[in-house]
């Protein structure tokens, strides 16, 4: 019986996805900061896996597109825009990527849950197992954000992980990731952080209960403020969080991506 996978050379490679949606694979990369990117772009995910593994790409509109890593264009340049491989809608853009099959260093184990957050502070957990199978170019739904809202990121989550969220108005909330409802079907989730009118979630990250710098909030003036359960009290979900700085704006919340061997634990 013919199986297309039998004709794919099983080779370990690195997949690089940029924040602006440029995708490529390379055999190996020693210095991620030296990879070619268009001006103003940045690395969103750097993942190591086999050419036979599945790559799940998550969008801001709540769709997940699963392709084989072998189908990611091999390139030493910028790569190709994801729109050439997938049927993105108007206003749709990438927010995360995960290797969802195989035994490579970036692959998530069977049964792994992920957490997703939206601009308006809603969040939920969902099982990644349905996103191991290849999808059509139209993808499959994993979230249904409310009108005017959008997903800002997706991260694999462990049972005791702590969630750190920062908003544009420099408010931060630290709570248990398991406080996010686990949904069996696509939905919008529950309120993780209460976001005031004109404010929005600027970034989130996951860490362990004693970590001091799970997430770094970068202010307009360049000042960087670390956020973590080692610095701020862990509270329940649904509050407005701690005030990081008064009359200040957060440009983004981030943790630098350093190693391509693991899924980068950041969203911004």
Closest CA to 116 of 137, 96, 93, 138: 96
Cβ partners under 8 Å of residue 162, min gap 6 = 174, 175, 176, 177, 206, 207, 208, 209, 211, 214, 228, 229, 234
Span 118-146, pLDDT tens digits: 999 999 999 999 999 999 999 999 999 99
| Separation of alpha carbons 80 and 77, rounded Å | 9
pLDDT band, residue 5 (cuts 50/70/90): low
The DSSP code sequence of 154-208 is EEEE-TT-EEEEEETTSEEEEEEGGGSPB-SS----EESS---TT--EEEEEEE-
Q: Tokens at residue 211, please?
A: 């970590």
Closest CA to 99 of 42, 156, 160, 151: 156
Cβ partners under 8 Å of residue 50, min gap 6 = 10, 11, 12, 13, 69, 102, 103, 104
Contact present, 146 and 221 (Cβ < 8 Å): no
Q: Tokens at residue 251, please?
A: 């440009």
State the Cα angle at 43 between 160 and 83, rounded to 5°. 105
Closest CA to 64 of 135, 122, 124: 135
- pTM, full prediction: 0.90
Span 9-22, pLDDT tens digits: 889 999 999 999 99
| Separation of alpha carbons 179 and 132, rounded Å | 25
| Separation of alpha carbons 115 and 155, rounded Å | 5
Q: Tokens at residue 133, please?
A: 């199978």
- Residue 6 has a pLDDT of 65
- Residue 184 has a pLDDT of 96
pLDDT at 263 over 80: no
Closest CA to 20 of 51, 47, 42, 2: 42
- Residue 3 has a pLDDT of 64
């Amino acid at each position: 019986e013919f199986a297309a996978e039998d004709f794919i050379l099983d080779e370990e490679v690195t997949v690089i996805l940029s924040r602006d949606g440029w995708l490529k694979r390379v055999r190996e990369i020693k210095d991620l900061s030296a990879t070619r990117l268009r001006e103003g772009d940045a690395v969103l995910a750097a993942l190591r896996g086999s050419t036979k593994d599945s790559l799940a790409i998550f969008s801001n509109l709540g769709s997940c597109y699963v392709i084989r890593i072998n189908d990611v264009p091999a390139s030493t340049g910028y790569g190709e825009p994801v729109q050439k491989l997938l049927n993105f809608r108007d206003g749709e853009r990438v927010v995360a990527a995960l290797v969802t099959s195989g035994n490579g260093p970036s692959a998530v184990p069977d049964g792994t849950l992920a957490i997703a957050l939206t601009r308006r502070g809603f969040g939920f957990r969902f099982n990644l197992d349905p996103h191991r199978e290849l999808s059509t170019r139209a993808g499959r739904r994993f979230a249904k954000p409310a009108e005017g809202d959008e997903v800002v990121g997706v991260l694999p989550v462990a049972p005791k992980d702590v969630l750190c969220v920062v908003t544009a108005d420099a408010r931060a909330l630290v709570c248990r990731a398991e406080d996010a409802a686990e949904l069996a079907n696509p939905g919008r989730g529950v309120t993780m952080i209460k976001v005031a009118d004109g404010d929005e979630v600027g970034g989130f990250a996951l860490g362990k209960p004693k970590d001091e710098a799970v997430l770094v909030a970068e202010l307009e003036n360049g000042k960087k403020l670390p956020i973590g359960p080692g610095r701020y009290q862990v509270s329940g979900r649904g509050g407005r969080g701690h005030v990081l700085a008064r009359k200040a704006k957060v440009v983004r919340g981030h943790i630098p991506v350093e190693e391509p061997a693991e899924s980068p634990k950041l969203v911004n």
